[in-house]
Copies of this chain bind each other. A is one copy, B any other.
Amino acid sequence: MLWQDGHQPGFTGSALDREDLIRTDPDRLAAMTSSLSARLLALDGIDPVLDDRGMLGWKSLAEADPDSELIFLGVLDGRPRFTEVRPDLPEGATRSMAIFRVLDLLPPEEASTYAAARSLIDWHVRHGFCAKCGTATAIFRGGWGRNCGACGAEHFPRVDPVVIMLAEYEGRVLVGRQPRYPPRRYSALAGFLEPGESIEEAVARELHEEAGMKTWSVRYIVSQPWPFPSSLMMACIARVEDDALTIDYTELEDAIWVTRDEVVASMNGDPDARFLPPPPYAIAHTLFRRWLDETG
């Protein structure tokens, strides 16, 4: 098992075999598309439609919109799996908040399969033109890229790496809240990794920018995909020089140091807890669990 500690992150564990060699083999791809066992992910806009067991719904590939671009996700339970980029996907469909209610119910393995589909659909919707020359592009490699007939450029789906971290000092960790969070929720600080940085340097920079901290060391803990639209969340624990804070209020509404007991109360759902924790499908939740294990 990839998560020996028993704390499997949200959006991980799909049994999907991506079968990447099929993407570049027109004959095998055609065989997948014409297979009677091929299945199409059931979606409402870009949100999943669950079946009566509370799992991802699938339907016949024949139900795809004839004008859709098809994406070959891979093979799952012996069946080819597809999703579609519908021409009529409404503008703004990717910003619905309904998905977060579904995620409270969906097992991580199911959310993991969905994450790949969602990130790909969103990328296609927002990348229909060649960034190099401005011409309309076409889907290729079974949906895992777009190419330009005018200049020949090939474009591949983005994955945006994000560092998310707990600063640790003398048995306490730093948690912050963004203005858009539900009331009383605090979580780990986070930010996009930039060109020219390592993970370790991005953690140190973010802690400096958002909280004025100096980082001594960074330990990577665990990662997850985050399909809003297509991040890779890399969770770390950073030892910092002291507990003085200089908060960047353009990024954070607040940041506080919390003790192990306070994190335990929060994760246990104690009504008197000092703060509400991140939801179970967020990597910050896994990061808290790991920190509690390490310090327990």
Contacts and interface: CB of A to CB of B under 8 A. Distances in A.
Number of copies: 2
Contacts of A1: 216-217
Contacts of A192: 156
Interface stretch (A36-44, A115-123, A255-263, A287-295): A115-123
A232 B199 contact: yes
B3 A196 contact: no
A: contact size bracket: 35 or more
B160 A159 contact: yes
A123 B225 contact: no
A33 interface: no
Interface string A1-38: 11110000101101000101100000000000000000
A258 B129 CA distance: 46
Given A131-B127, A196-B14, A225-B195, A201 B2 contact: yes
B200 A3 contact: yes
Given A194-B18, A195-B116, A195-B120, A4 B129 contact: no
A134 interface: yes
Q: Which 4 pairs of residues, A with B, have the shortest CB-CB distance?
A: A116-B196, A119-B195, A129-B134, A127-B131
